Amino acid sequence: SNMLIEALEGDVTVVYSSVQIEVEPVGRWFEAFLKRRNRNVSASFQELEEEEELSEESEDEELQLEDFPLLRTLDPKDWKNQDHYAVLGLAHMRYKATQKQIKAAHKAMVLKHHPDKRKAAGELIVEGDGDYFTCITKAIEILSDPVKRRAFDSVDPTFDNAVPSKGEGKDNFFEAYAPVFERNARWSSKKHVPRLGTMDSSFEDVDNFYSVWYNFDSWREFSYLDEEEKDKAECRDERRWIEKQNRAARATRKKEEMNRLRTLVDTAYSLDPRIKKFKDDEKARKENEKKAKADAKRKEQEEKERARQAELDAARLAKEKEEEEAKLVAQQAKKEKEIQKKAIKKERQKLRTTCKNWNYFGDNESDSVKMMEDVEKLCDRLELVSLQSLNEGLALGSKEEGKVAVEKQVQEVNAQLQKEKDAEVQARQAVRTTVQASGGGGGGGKGWNEEELPLLIKAVNLFPPFTVIFNSHCFRAGLEDLPSQHPREVGEDCCSCARTYQEGLYEEI
């Protein structure tokens, strides 16, 4: 009755809470919890939830019952083998029937087949439990209890347990296997089992489908097929033995069921055209990646080869350029040498001509001949610069000055020749001294001939005595390649040459 007044700006709203409310758990969820706790079965919760959903969906639908012609012929003693859904007229609904529908069907069957009703109609009734109405009672007893109903649904006689063979479904895979997976999905403990799909299904959908079915958790159990009932046992030991036998039988049937489902999944996986397509696509992708890597590697190799070839070309061009430059230098040197040769030849001819014009500075023939020899000696020994200097002096001076200049140059050349001759004599003397010091020639008295002595003298001039150079058998091969091979003193025993000398082979020198 209180009126709510709009709060003005700046007003403060205060909420007072002094009311205590008692809450009690109610509703279908709490009812399901109590039933699960009382029966100690957790799986019934899903059944109750499904039944509630179905009952809400079909609440306004009128229940249609199917007539069961064989109802009156049923043997109450063989109630375990009867189809309880068919007995209640729910053969067309079976496990999809809700508890509300089962109760309504049972009520309709009681009104129609109760012994009192039939007896009032004049029908002869069998006394005791021999009447077929007992089968109706057993049916409602089984189907109204979630645990017993689940046990019966697990061995539903109308369920098709057949699995397609490997030869089936090759040409019509989806038509052959989709119904099989759909009817077996009822055994899943989880909701929303994925469907088989179509040829256009994505890889993720197909992978999820087979992942679910390879890890399929089936709630199907086979306690309804127990051959012995433990309640009929006369003692505890017999009851334990019955329970043991029943557990073993259930485990065997459960194993067979899981093998059946695994066979179904394996066969479908082996025939699924999408799996083959995905494998081919994956193979093609890997081949493309492999080809791309090979192309990249080949391209890299080609780049390296091009770089190496470029380096080789650059090196070749540099070498060719260097060779060309060396060739030009050699040609230039040769040209200069030719020029110098022509120049020295010209200067020699000029010297000869000048001396010839002055009759070689002699008053008689003998002096002229001697001067001619000296002039030729000058032409052989003097360098270009000396010849040019001499010719310039002869051109500017008189005959007497020219004679003096020529004689001076001849004296210098003679002095140089004499110096070389003395050095040669000295070298010969040193060789003889060395040979005498080593024992008079050694090697069977074999001496040095006239052809070998100039080589020996040259060697002694290049390398002083008692310097080890090479083996004696190499000595006669020539002296041009010998400098700096073995610059060690005798006695160090550093090489075969030194040992050769110590053994006396050097005496041949």
What does the alpha-carbon distance between residue 90 and residue 97 come to, in Å, rounded to a whole number?
7
Q: From the CB of residue 264, how many other CB atoms can be counted at a distance below 10 Å?
A: 20
Dihedral over Cα of 45, 51, 54, 59: its sign:
negative
Higher pLDDT, 169 or 277: 277
Q: Per-residue pLDDT tens for 47-80?
A: 555 555 555 444 445 788 888 888 888 888 888 8
Q: For residues 503 and 366, give the distance between their C-alpha atoms in angstroms, rounded to a whole number.
A: 58
Question: What is the separation of C-alpha 395 from the centre of its chain, rounded to a whole number of angstroms?
Answer: 92
More confident position, 45 or 382: 382
Q: Which range has the worst mean pLDDT, 44-53, 129-138, 333-342?
A: 44-53
**pLDDT class for 400, splitting at 50, 70, 90?**
confident
User: In angstroms, rounded to a whole number, what is the distance separating the alpha carbons of residues 294 and 47?
Assistant: 59
**Residue 5: DSSP 8-state:** P
pLDDT attached to residue 379: 85
% of the chain beyond a pLDDT of 90: 29
Q: Where are the domains of the chain?
A: 28-154, 173-271, 338-420, 441-508
Q: Which amino acid would we find at residue 157? A: P
Q: What is the enclosing helix (H) or strand (E) of 194?
A: none
Per-residue pLDDT, 494: 42
Contacts of 509 (CB under 8 A, 6+ apart): 431, 434, 435, 438, 456, 472, 475
Using the predicted structure, report yes or no on whether residue 28 has a pLDDT greater than 80. no
463-493 confidence digits (pLDDT tens): 665 555 444 444 444 444 444 444 444 344 4
pLDDT at 292 exceeding the cut of 90: yes
Helix ranges (DSSP H) in 236-272: 236-271
- Is 90 exceeded by the pLDDT of residue 299? yes
Task: Note whether 478 and 455 are within 8 A (CB).
Answer: yes
Q: Can you read off the two tokens belonging to residue 256?
A: 């067979």
Residue 95 half-sphere exposure toward CB, CA atoms < 13 A: 19
Each residue of 136-157: pLDDT tens digit?
999 999 999 999 999 999 999 8
